[in-house]
Amino acid sequence: MTLTAPATLISHALDQLAELGYTIIDDFIPAADVVALRSQAKALQDEGLMHQAAIGHDMHQQVVRRIRGDATYWLDDDGNTAEQAQYLASMHALQQELNRDFFLALVEFECHFAIYRPGAVYLRHLDQFIGQQERQISAVLYLNEHWQPDDGGELRLYLDNGAVPDHVDILPLGGRLVLFMSGRFYHEVLAARRERFSLTGWFRTRSQAL
Which residues in this chain contact ligand OGA in the complex, by CB under 6 A?
114, 122, 127, 140, 155, 187, 189, 198, 200
Least separation, in Å, of the C-beta of 97 and ligand OGA?
22
Beta bridge mates, 197: 115
Q: Which is nearer to ligand OGA, 17 or 114 (CB)?
A: 114
* Interaction partner, residue 189 (ligand OGA, Mn ion, none; CB < 5-8 Å by kind): ligand OGA
How far apart (Å, rounded) are the C-alpha atoms in residues 46 and 178?
A: 27
Least separation, in Å, of the C-beta of 192 and ligand OGA?
10
Q: Which is nearer to Mn ion, 102 or 129 (CB)?
A: 129
Q: Does residue 170 contact residue 108 with C-beta atoms inside 8 Å?
A: no
Burial 91-114 (b: 16+ CB within 10 A, else e): beebbeebeeebeeebeebbbbbb
Q: Report if residue 154 touches Mn ion, rule: CB under 5 A.
A: no
* Interaction partner, residue 140 (Mn ion, ligand OGA, none; CB < 5-8 Å by kind): ligand OGA
Q: Which is nearer to ligand OGA, 33 or 197 (CB)?
A: 197
Q: Which is nearer to ligand OGA, 127 or 134 (CB)?
A: 127
Q: Report if residue 127 touches Mn ion, rule: CB under 5 A.
A: yes
How far apart (Å, rounded) are the C-alpha atoms in residues 192 and 8?
A: 33
Least separation, in Å, of the C-beta of 68 and ligand OGA?
8
Quote the DSSP letter at residue 203. E
Phi, psi of 108 (to 5 degrees): -155, 160
* Interaction partner, residue 71 (Mn ion, ligand OGA, none; CB < 5-8 Å by kind): none
Q: Does residue 29 contact residue 38 with C-beta atoms inside 8 Å?
A: no
* Interaction partner, residue 177 (ligand OGA, Mn ion, none; CB < 5-8 Å by kind): none
Among residues 137, 132, 164, 169, which one has the least CA distance to residue 152? 169
Site of interaction with Mn ion (CB under 5 A): 127
